[in-house]
């Protein structure tokens, strides 16, 4: 297909995915907030559990929640589900577009596991299905009766699977696979549990019967899981722009702390919405996680021998590397993509606008090159142009020398 058209299709799917995600998260946050802020009051209609007043858009809203069928069933009942389905469907389309069509660049890293394109796609699809089956099984098992224990086991499960992914896919692919798994679990929670249970509850109420309380309880549990993993999932989705997040050797551990951080922040807001005392400790947890993430990233360069990092460079350092030498390496390994007119098939414009086609441009991008090709091995993608460790070390010395010269 025409690469320009292809590129625009990608932009369109991404746009759709972001919009659908905003709509889903927006309605989900809204309803969790509404549910928490409902207050019982004398004089509410029969069957009403609580009410909340809200002001927005120049008027007042009087929200009343009925736990049994209201005396008059409304003619129109709005269901919230297409936000979730559209987010998942567009997410799958994006996964296929970027990671399956571009598997050689983004999903596979031959140095991790020598997979063919179809093997990698097969593994990825299988992992999404199996991941859901295991998660769903955990929720239905005796563990699922204890929310706290289930959360802990679920957390271990996600981190463990992410670790497995890092043993199968490129680091960037592994991170996205973990995000896709969490997103799939969220959407399947809506499709397989929350909405079907909701339908059964509504049907029972319409018949004037008391619905099985287990239905609502199970739906609520899944809904809370979705609510708490929202923030980590959104981070994973944008993480492919941050090689430091996905590219380090302990990226799965970074993801673990990101999950704790996101859950803690969410917990703060959920508690506040209930009108309970603010749990300020959650910000301490989030702050400590943030520090740990930075420290982990600082402590795990892809190739410790290449970087002096915080440790002063050895006194007997080799001769300084000239810009020309660095530029030669970059020209050989990077410029086929990062040029005004890239010569790599399928790449039509310099990715992310990063131009590395002249010594000046390369010097101007020194710190980005350091992060993408020295500190992490995110670039070249899947080391497709076979950059050697020796070349990365030379780039490291060039950039670190420059840094020292600038500092003096």
Residue numbers of the site for ligand HEC (CB under 6 A)? 105, 240-241, 330, 333-334, 336-338, 344, 347, 351-352, 354, 368-369, 372-373, 379-381, 384-385, 387
Q: List the end-to-end C-alpha distance of the chain, in Å, as a whole number.
A: 52
Nearer to ligand HEC, 185 or 396 (CB): 396
- What are the backbone angles phi and psi of residue 62, rounded to the nearest 5°? -115, 100
Cβ proximity to ligand HEC: between 80 and 97 the closer is 97
Q: Looking at beta carbons only, is 263 or 362 nearer to ligand HEC?
A: 362
Q: Is the CB of 298 or the CB of 352 nearer to ligand HEC?
A: 352
Shortest distance in whole angstroms from residue 393 CB to ligand HEC? 13
Name the residue nearer to ligand HEC (CB basis): 215 or 354: 354
CA-to-CA separations, 215 to 33, 134, 137, 160, in angstroms, rounded: 21, 20, 16, 30
Distance CA 120, CA 114 (A): 9
Q: Round to whole Å and give the CA distance between 217 and 197.
A: 9
Nearest residue (CB) to ligand HEC, 47 versus 351: 351
CB of 379 to ligand HEC, least distance (A): 3
Q: Are 243 and 379 in contact (CB under 8 A)?
A: yes
Tokens of 161: 């699977």
Q: What whole-number distance in Å separates Cα of residue 349 and Cα of residue 341? A: 6
- The Cα 64–Cα 52 span in angstroms is 7
Residue 391 CB, nearest approach to ligand HEC (Å): 8
How far is it, in rounded angstroms, from Cα 351 to Cα 345?
13
CA distances (Å), origin 125, targets 51, 122, 270, 402: 44, 5, 33, 45
* DSSP letter assigned to residue 276: P
Q: Would you say 296 or 399 has its CB closer to ligand HEC?
A: 399
Q: Which residue has the tokens 């010097």?
A: 363
> Quick one: 150 or 379, whose CB is closer to ligand HEC?
379
Residue 355 CB coordination number (10 Å):
17
Least Å distance, CB 245 to ligand HEC, is: 11
DSSP characters over 216-244: HHHHHHHHHHHHHHHHHHHHHHHGGG-HH
Q: Which residues contact 216 (CB under 8 A, 6 or more apart)?
A: 197, 201
């Amino acid at each position: 297909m025409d690469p320009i058209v292809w590129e625009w299709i990608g932009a369109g799917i991404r746009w759709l995915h972001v919009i659908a995600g905003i709509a889903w998260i927006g309605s989900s946050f809204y309803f969790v907030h509404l549910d928490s802020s409902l207050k019982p009051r004398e004089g509410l209609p029969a069957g009403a559990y609580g009410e909340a007043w809200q002001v927005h858009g120049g008027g007042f809203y009087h929200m009343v929640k009925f736990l049994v069928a209201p005396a008059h069933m409304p003619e129109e009942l709005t269901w919230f589900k297409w936000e979730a389905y559209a987010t998942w469907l567009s997410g799958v389309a994006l996964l296929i577009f970027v990671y399956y069509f571009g598997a050689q660049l983004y999903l596979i890293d031959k140095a991790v596991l020598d997979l063919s394109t179809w093997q990698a796609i097969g593994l990825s699809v299988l992992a999404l299905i199996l991941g859901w089956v295991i998660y769903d099984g955990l929720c239905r098992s005796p563990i699922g009766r204890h929310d706290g224990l289930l959360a802990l086991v679920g957390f271990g499960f996600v981190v463990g699977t992410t670790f497995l992914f890092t043993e199968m896919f490129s680091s960037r692919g592994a991170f996205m696979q973990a995000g896709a798994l969490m997103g799939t679990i969220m959407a399947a929670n809506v499709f397989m549990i929350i909405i079907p249970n909701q339908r059964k509850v509504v049907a029972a109420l319409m018949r004037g019967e008391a619905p099985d309380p287990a239905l609502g309880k199970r739906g609520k549990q899944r809904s809370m899981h979705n609510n708490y993993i929202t923030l980590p999932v959104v981070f994973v989705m944008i993480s492919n722009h941050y090689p430091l997040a996905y590219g380090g050797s302990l990226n799965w551990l970074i993801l673990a702390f990101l999950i704790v951080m996101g859950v803690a922040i969410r917990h703060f807001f959920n508690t506040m919405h209930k009108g309970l005392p603010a749990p300020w400790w959650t910000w301490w947890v989030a702050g400590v996680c943030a520090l740990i993430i930075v420290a982990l990233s600082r402590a795990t360069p892809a190739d410790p021998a290449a970087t002096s990092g915080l440790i002063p460079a050895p006194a007997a350092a080799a001769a300084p590397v000239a810009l020309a030498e660095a530029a030669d390496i970059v020209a050989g390994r990077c410029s086929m993509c990062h040029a005004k007119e890239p010569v790599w098939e399928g790449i039509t414009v310099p990715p992310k606008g990063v131009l590395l086609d002249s010594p000046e441009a390369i010097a101007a991008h020194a710190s980005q090159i350091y992060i993408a090709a020295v500190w992490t091995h995110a670039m070249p993608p899947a080391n497709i142009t076979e950059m050697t460790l020796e070349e990365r070390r030379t780039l490291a010395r060039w950039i670190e020398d420059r840094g020292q010269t600038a500092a003096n």
